[in-house]
Chain A
Amino acid sequence: MNVKALAVAICLAAPATGQGFAGLGTEVDGFSVPQPNPTFDFPADHGAHPDYRIEWWYITANLDGADGVEYGLQWTLFRSALAPEDGTGWETPQLWMGHAAITTPTDHFVAERLGRGGVGQAGVTADPFDAWIDDWSLSGPDFDTLRMTAAGADFAYEVDLTATGPLVFQGDRGFSVKSSEGQASYYYSQPFFEVAGTLTLPEGEVAVTGSAWLDREWSSQPLGGDQTGWDWFSLSFDTGERMMGFLLHEGEDTSYTSATWIEPDGSATPYPNGAFAAEPLTITDVGGRDVPTQWQVRLPDRGVDVTVTAMNPQAWMETSVPYWEGPVHIEGSHTGRGYLEMTGYE
């Protein structure tokens, strides 16, 4: 099987030539398109939206081990539709991809799963909430109380997530614009999870505690045709405030940015293109690729001017569609921890 073709198909779910990173900028064909002023219907909207082309349930966590070591954790389930239909059986056009990772200061463990919808191998139900692919799952009686498990050939984890704050809607009440051409997605987060659980590593089991950030996003064409990747920051400051910011690459030197400032009580302020800025400070050779692993991040309106540094610069996700994803440290005007995701560096 041609893995490349498959990967592209899964992340692109549309025929012919892919555009943007992993084909996320391709034309929409029969799929629903996000509209401004959305109204969400929970818990149903925690579940899958098969009439949209792509969707994800994305969790990253900054953890401290009982052994005194800092850990990063990732659990992601991607849904990708070949056609805006759902159903049962092998012919169902819903494909699923799971990514899981543990990052330590010296190692980065990654696993990937692919699966078909319609036969029970992977899927998401909203009530009670259950998102699964194979033996990996994110499930619980409701969206505030979740258990998250995943296992690869050399690692495994099982952690409990408990929400200590409300959902946060990104962009304009959950309508997140991604380019000046108007591409957008529905996007909300739960940045207030407390985490406790166990990691299994080649050296043995480690009890961990910390915090996690969940992102929910679905769309049919989230990127503009000329957007080739993004740098996405989820930062939790020691003051209790949080900030989400992203920078979409448009050609060589231009970019489209967006940010959300989140108060400790969950109230959010969106920032339009240009308010948020991020510049690479250090470029690291990650398996032959030039990847920025230290950034100067600014949101002048909130007095944010910080240096964001990768805990482990080699946190490369060697999956069907490869990217960089790992925990970061924050220093400067604010201090804290967070997660960084960078795509388009392949």
Chain B
Amino acid sequence: MMRAGLQALLSHWTRNPLQLFTLLAGLALATALWSGVQAINAEARASYDAAAQTLGEARYAQLRRADGSPIPQQTYIDLRRAGWLVSPVLEGRAQIGAVDLRIAGIDPLTAPPGVGTIALTNGEIGDFLTGAGQLFATPDTIARIGETPDLTFLPTDGVAPDLAITDIGIAQSLLNAEGEITRLVVIPAQPLGRPPLEQIAPDLVLTAPQNDTDMAQLTDSFHLNLTAFGLLSFAVGIFIVNGAIGLAFEQRRQMFRTLRATGLPLRNLIGLLAAELILFALVAGTIGMALGYLIAAALLPDVAATLRGLYGADIAGTLTFRGGWFVSGLVIALGGTALASIGAMSKLARLPILAAGQGRAWAMVSSARLRIQAIVSVALLLAAAGIAAFGSGLIAGFSLLGALLIGGALALPVILDLLLSVGERIAKSVTAQWFWADTRQQLPGLSLALMALLLAMAANIGVSTMVSSFRLTFIGFLDQRLASEIYVSTETAEGGRLLEEFATEHADAVLPILSAETDLAGLPGTVFGARDHATYRDNWTFLSSTATPWEAVHAGTGILLNEQTARKRELSVGDPLTIGEATFPITGIYGDYGNPTGQAILSEETFRDLFPEAEATRFGLRTSDPEALQETLIYDFGLDASAIIDQAGIKAISLDVFERTFSVTTALNILTLAVAGFAILMSLLTLAGMRLPQLAPVWAQGLTRRALGRYELIRALLLAALTTLVAIPLGIVLAWALLAIVNVEAFGWKLPMYLFPLLYLRLTLLACLAAALAALWPARKLARTPAAHLLKVFSNER
């Protein structure tokens, strides 16, 4: 019986291959988009983890020289012999083979757990420690380095690209830095009776451990965008699957009745259907994973470039296949199918054994059902508003996104029905009236596809608005932060003093960048000392400030604070802030995008009073002729070209990075719209066969098949256009939620939102194009329907 039942169920698909294709393709596409985005995220995260873990020393306190110069090895020994448990790290770059390799030298014997995580078997450690020339790097890096006769490279995962970890002795010789140490990692558990640092190494400064790497915080914002995209794409796909499954159930109602009537128990029937769906989910999931892998592989180089440029985060541009990712993709496909089939299954479970066997699904949806949908939608949208007003935390942020999307999607058929009925009322000609009424009548059948289109559009508008807002804000931020034409840095404080002296003669203004680590309202942060110059007054914009924020700062009676710290400590303009022993009123709060830590700005004089030991090694130089100044610095002062950064160059790089970000965003835009277009196509094709009985009378009354086809096309365009009318505000609200709620909850800073009407217009056109392309084939098919088929409708009715 089970076998016969299964045969009967599956025979439906052999008779309706198109429906089978819709189901599989919808699920596969949904899985592909989701898994593609996840693959990119996973790859990038794995790379940062590798980078962060490379030395993994960020979570330990560290010692450095205040002026940034190398620490003599003897200082390390002096500290150890005094009871300071510190471990040396030497870092630098060297050209090894074909690669400008970053080299990190560690001492595995004194390194704390987690620093330089490389697995050494006991055979290798001897070679690692005794100058045999062992370096650990990723297989990819090793391949690019090529042959190196004196060095042995060992492949390992968990190291950043273009980085090699080796023993400090080897690093010293490779970097030509005998007896030098870049910094010392301080082991958390220190012995009793340790003398103070000043007594052993007064020129070293202790920096506190960081809980999170800066990079992780920064790049998380980028990944959040991608994840939102992936999730929305998946929702679009689920709508398609839901439609296909619903249709398959409705069409098989007669079959279910027959199977039940011939003795197949309900439990077994549901079991068979579930098995069938699991099989489909696995097949479609696997196809989807393959597609997702292709998508990820195609986009990853751009993502890698974006992240490298934006945050300096090195990720490899190649994709590695990760087992966990594949399994999670299949789970998502199964879960999505389960989600999409809940409705149909529960309907089947409640089906009376001898229920009327006729298809009912694509009949006019009762106004009662529309009303329920409207109520649920309004409730969800109200909930979203409530969360926005009173909720806090990242979970609330994502709940808000969910409520908005589902509420918006459920509202769509209601709104469209309303708009169409208005059209129907104002229509003059009979044909027009028929057109509106017929469109309205088709709405239930198309509404799932249209919801998918709505979600795709809203997601695209939301994410594009977010990315574009980010770009505008960031460029403005760069203008503010990189106001000087040239930035130079020196290795030592002595060099800094000489440079300042030299530059004062040749540049219009020299702006030293003085900074010190300090405590800001109980949070670790950096305080800067700014020279009194128009550059700051002219270029800096504040989120909130007194009338003359800089004047107060330069008078020593004010301090500027970054937004993150102000938000975390609920500080506003006028509140006092204590730095060391001195307290200043906050005169301005400024946006400080992408920086996870606290930051404050004082005047140069006040700063030097508070931090007399800090010396500038970086300077901003104002000049009307940047090129000439650069040449003077290189040839007359002898500064290394790598120590000079020209501001125009940075901006060009940043812009280039944004272009790449856009190429990722655009590619995802087109993909999601294609999925939505596909949903429309499938719905129209499904409807086409069932609509013949409705169209036959219209044809009989004189509308040509050509005209009918044309109306099909116009209808699709009209519905798409109306959908975008709903999608644009929904997308904008979505963008607002991402920027003002989710971003603040996740990163502590709010991105200002800008609107981009041209972008929305382009997306609208793209959506209409997708709908038109989707309708083209069904319309053509209708225009070419043999008259005999239409006639048959009448004879069948008899």
Give me the interface of A with B, judged by CB distance under 8 Å.
Answer: 1-3, 5-6, 8-9, 12-13, 15-16, 18, 82-83, 89-93, 95, 111, 114-116, 119-121, 132, 134-135, 151-156, 200
Contact = CB atoms under 8 A, between A and B. Distances in A.
A93 B132 CA distance: 11
A5 B110 contact: no
Interface stretch (B74-82, B241-249, B763-771): B74-82
A114 B109 contact: yes
A90 B168 contact: yes
Nearest to A120: B77
B363 interface: no
A107 B194 CA distance: 23
Nearest to B106: A1
Contacts of A6: 108-109, 120, 125
B116 to A, nearest CB: 6
A9 B73 CA distance: 25
Interface string B131-172: 100000000000000000000000000000000000111101
B128 to A, nearest CB: 9
13 contacts: A1-B120, A2-B121, A9-B125, A9-B129, A115-B80, A116-B109, A134-B80, A135-B194, A152-B192, A153-B190, A153-B191, A154-B192, A156-B193
A91 B130 contact: yes
Contacts of A89: 131, 169
A15 B120 contact: no
Contacts of B81: 120-121, 132, 134-135
Interface of B: 73-74, 77, 80-83, 85, 107-111, 113, 115-126, 129-131, 167-170, 172, 189-194
A9 B116 contact: no
A109 to B, nearest CB: 10
A255 B73 CA distance: 48
A118 B316 CA distance: 38
A15 B169 CA distance: 21
Contact of A135 (B119, B172, B191): B191
A1 B192 contact: no
B119 A93 contact: no
B122 A115 contact: no
Contact of A115 (B110, B113, B121): B110
B131 A90 contact: yes
Nearest to B169: A90
A200 B193 contact: yes
Contacts of B77: 119-121
Nearest to A23: B122
Nearest to A118: B169
A200 B73 CA distance: 31
A10 to B, nearest CB: 8
Contacts of A5: 119-122, 124-125
Task: Please give me the 9 A-B residue pairs with the lowest Cβ-Cβ distance, nearest first.
Answer: A90-B169, A91-B131, A135-B83, A151-B191, A114-B109, A153-B189, A82-B126, A156-B192, A9-B125
Given A115-B110, A135-B191, 6 more contacts: A5-B120, A82-B129, A82-B130, A83-B130, A120-B74, A135-B82
Contacts of A15: 122-123, 126
Contact of A151 (B83, B117, B124): B83
Contacts of A2: 119-121, 125
Contacts of A152: 191-192
Contacts of B116: 1
Interface centre among B81, B83, B189, B191 (most CB of A within 10 A): B191
A111 B81 CA distance: 15
Contacts of B85: 134
Given A5-B121, A154-B192, A95 B73 contact: no
A93 B126 contact: yes
Contacts of B107: 90, 116
A2 B113 CA distance: 9
B73 A151 contact: no
Nearest to B192: A156
A146 B178 CA distance: 35
A106 to B, nearest CB: 19
Contacts of B119: 2, 5
A6 B108 CA distance: 8
A9 B120 CA distance: 10
